[in-house]
Amino acid sequence: MVGSMSTMRENEIRILSILRDIGGKARLPDIVEKSGLQDSAVMRAVLTLSNRGLVKVNEKETVMVRLSQEGTTYAHIGLPEIRLSSTVRYLGGEASLDEALSKARLGDIEPSIVLGWLRRKGLGEILRRGGSVYIRSLGMGDSDPDEVALRLIYSKGEVPLEDLKERFSQSVSRLKERNLLEMHRRVDREVELTPEGLSTPIPSVEVSKTVTALTSEMIFSGRWRNVELLEYDVMASPPPICPGKKNPYAEFMDEARRILLAMGFDEDEGPLVEAEFWNFDILFQAQDHPAREIHDSYILKYPQRCRLENRVLVERVKRTHQDGWITGSKGWGYRWDESIAERLILRTQTTAVSMRHLASHKKPPVRMFCLSKVFRPDVLDPKHSMEFTQLEGIVGDKGISMRHLLGFLQRFASTLKLGDVRFKPGYFPFTEPSVESYIKHPTLGWIEFVGAGMFRPEVLKPLGIDFPVIAWGIGFDRLAMIALNLEDIRDLHSRRLDWLRDRPMW
């Protein structure tokens, strides 16, 4: 401490007298409240007083328990082994491993871990029969203590570990082992007067001529000449400031937009609630295509249906599905049903936007991108999300070829500094040839970065487009996770204010 050790400063005097007034002992937050001073000012003053032996600071630690993101998810949807066990019960008490696992929708959790817990908790047993593995349900698992503990902690937000000891000690250690809980130490500080602090005379505030703040009055009157301006501890930390700033994920989206605009692409957007016609039928996805099942797209309870207004287009798409119309294709050879095409869903791919764009931009050249949300049924966990962002781009012109498609993908990746790119044959119902493109990630190795291709004639002809169109769709969230160095997809929609505040700008 530099400065006047011999004299007492205003804040120190104030704290000393507060402590005397309330019986010699107080918790730090109480002093802050009573004094009307900032946290940091109180801390500084208490430290000085303690250095001078006038007060003593007692610290008490409490271990607090709170749910991790994973734990919060399970508090909502239930622990995986309980979900698996109830799925097996729902399937009649016994089911093949594959079926039970897929119906329980466990997402990316390692099945052996779930089975391990299922067995440990006596909820089910594993049987092998004729080369297949079955699960038989044994218990109800309705009042699994681990789940009860999870929900209890969830309802309170944060619970002292001490309070859980009696009823849930085993659950707490199990949940901790599974990384579903986070523990942190809360330190409560209490300030107590020493006998010396109790007896030392409290100087009146005017005792010192030392002044903390230079005021306009002092400058105006010249009084600054008669006072001593307190020397600060210039090395002490200032109070933190939380500036207003943009979300890193949104910043990354802005960056991608800038690149595409610079590459000559127009931005477009379409409805989030979309007709199956625009999301699937016009893309030559047969009406019984697995992607159209309720496991892979969100169908609506309300509203359910829409009107398909462009009758010419509807008729062409119908014929194309049935027998290929004049596209040169054999078609899918089934009876196309307009009432399926009229169903409303949450858009599952931004390719629907490309289709709407092409329907109204029939003259080449066409260059469009769309950076927006799509939805697919999934349980929210570190690797899956029910809504995510796609970056879609199309280029249509006379003389456009597959080599141009590869050229665009390579240019985009190099602009985003994603490193080496390689291409492999892929499959999408609406493009042919189809390409999957991979980028080299420093730790994950080659990872898929974009699905692309040239729209099939069965897609373009009904729209009245007579030039080739190349298209690509990027799972933008994965790219964002790499760029922002995130491992949990939920961090793109982070609800942790302190984390967002602490994160440097992108």
Residues of span 390-449 touching other proteins by CB under 8 A: 395, 397, 399-404, 406-411, 422-427, 432-435
Question: Nearest distance from residue 495's CB to other proteins, in Å?
Answer: 5
Using CB under 8 A as the binding rule, the residues of this chain from 247 to 266 that contact other proteins are 247, 249-250, 254, 257, 260-266
| Under 8 Å between Cβ of 467 and 398 | yes
Using CB under 8 A as the binding rule, the residues of this chain from 36 to 95 that contact other proteins are 76-77, 91-92, 94-95
Rounded CA-CA distance 436/260 in Å is: 20
Q: Which of 41, 43, 230, 379 binds other proteins (CB under 8 A)?
A: 379
Residue 55 or 416: the one with the smaller Cβ distance to other proteins is 416
By CB under 8 A, is residue 299 in contact with other proteins? yes
Using CB under 8 A as the binding rule, the residues of this chain from 475 to 494 that contact other proteins are 492-494
What are the backbone angles phi and psi of residue 191, rounded to the nearest 5°?
A: -110, 130
157: region left, alpha or beta (phi > 0 left; psi from -120 to 50 alpha): left
By CB under 8 A, is residue 151 in contact with other proteins? no
Kindly give the residue spans of alpha helices, DSSP state H, lying in 78-144.
80-90, 97-103, 111-120
Residue 111 or 426: the one with the smaller Cβ distance to other proteins is 426
Residue 238 or 399: the one with the smaller Cβ distance to other proteins is 399
Size of the site for other proteins (CB under 8 A): 114
Question: Nearest distance from residue 331's CB to other proteins, in Å?
Answer: 7
Instruction: Classify residue 7 by burial, with Cβ atoms within 10 Å: 0-12, 13-18, 19+.
Output: middle
By CB under 8 A, is residue 359 in contact with other proteins? no
Helix axes 145-156 and 69-77, enclosed angle (nearest 10): 110
What x-and-dash track marks residues 201-240 binding other proteins by CB under 8 A?
Answer: ---------------------------------------x
Q: Which of 2, 22, 140, 300 binds other proteins (CB under 8 A)?
A: 300
Q: Is the dihedral of CA 348, 357, 449, 501 positive or negative?
A: negative
CA atoms within 13 A of residue 475's CA, in its CB half-sphere: 18
Residue 65 or 95: the one with the smaller Cβ distance to other proteins is 95
Residue 7 or 96: the one with the smaller Cβ distance to other proteins is 96
Residue 181 or 400: the one with the smaller Cβ distance to other proteins is 400
Rounded CA-CA distance 159/433 in Å is: 57
Rounded CA-CA distance 502/248 in Å is: 11
DSSP bridge pairs for 210: 228
